[in-house]
């Protein structure tokens, strides 16, 4: 049973990763939602423009330490703030503000909370890492929604 839970949690966590995020942007492009696609891609670029300098200045190892051989791997191995939490919350807030129905807001909130929770469960982040990532994601989602 634990193995099934671990696999499920890992799969949920992947919904906050780069491939799923890029697939979402492509989906909106294919659906003719060009503005949403552009906002998502812009947001992803801003996320890395914020995260990389923070991690370059303040390296913090993950709860389950990850080794690294060079500087780029060191940046990727950092835990603060959580990119998954940043990205998932950004997506949830941006789409909630775009669709603005109670059901959609609930669905997007559940998505963000699940991704955030999985990062802690998998020992990829500490709670503070995901909290700061979520706050940054919410601010970015609000900011780009109003742009």
Whether residue 81 is preceded by a cis peptide bond, meaning omega within 30 degrees of 0, is: yes
Three-state secondary structure call for residue 145: helix
| Domains identified in the chain, total number | 1
pLDDT at 66: 81
Residue 127 confidence (pLDDT) above 90: yes
pLDDT at 2: 84
List phi, psi (to 5°) of 112: -65, -45
Residue span of the structural domain in which 69 resides: 2-145
Output the pTM of the full model: 0.92
Whether residue 139 is preceded by a cis peptide bond, meaning omega within 30 degrees of 0, is: no
List phi, psi (to 5°) of 134: -65, -40
Of 82, 83, 93, residue with least CA distance to 127: 82
Of the pLDDT bands very low, low, confident and very high (cuts 50, 70, 90), residue 140 is: very high
């Amino acid at each position: 049973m634990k193995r099934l839970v671990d696999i499920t949690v890992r799969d949920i966590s992947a919904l906050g990763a780069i491939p799923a995020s890029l697939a979402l942007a492509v989906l909106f492009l294919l659906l003719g939602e060009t503005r949403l696609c552009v906002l998502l891609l812009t947001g992803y670029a801003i996320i890395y423009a914020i995260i990389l300098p923070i991690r370059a200045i303040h390296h913090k190892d993950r709860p389950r330490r990850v080794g690294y051989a060079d500087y780029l791997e060191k940046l990727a191995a950092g835990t603060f703030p959580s990119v998954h939490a940043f990205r998932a919350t950004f997506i949830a807030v941006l789409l909630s503000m775009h669709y603005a129905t109670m059901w959609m807001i609930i669905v997007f909130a559940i998505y963000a909370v699940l991704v955030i929770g999985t990062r802690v469960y998998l020992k990829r982040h500490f709670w503070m890492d995901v909290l700061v990532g979520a706050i940054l994601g919410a601010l970015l989602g609000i900011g780009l929604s109003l742009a």
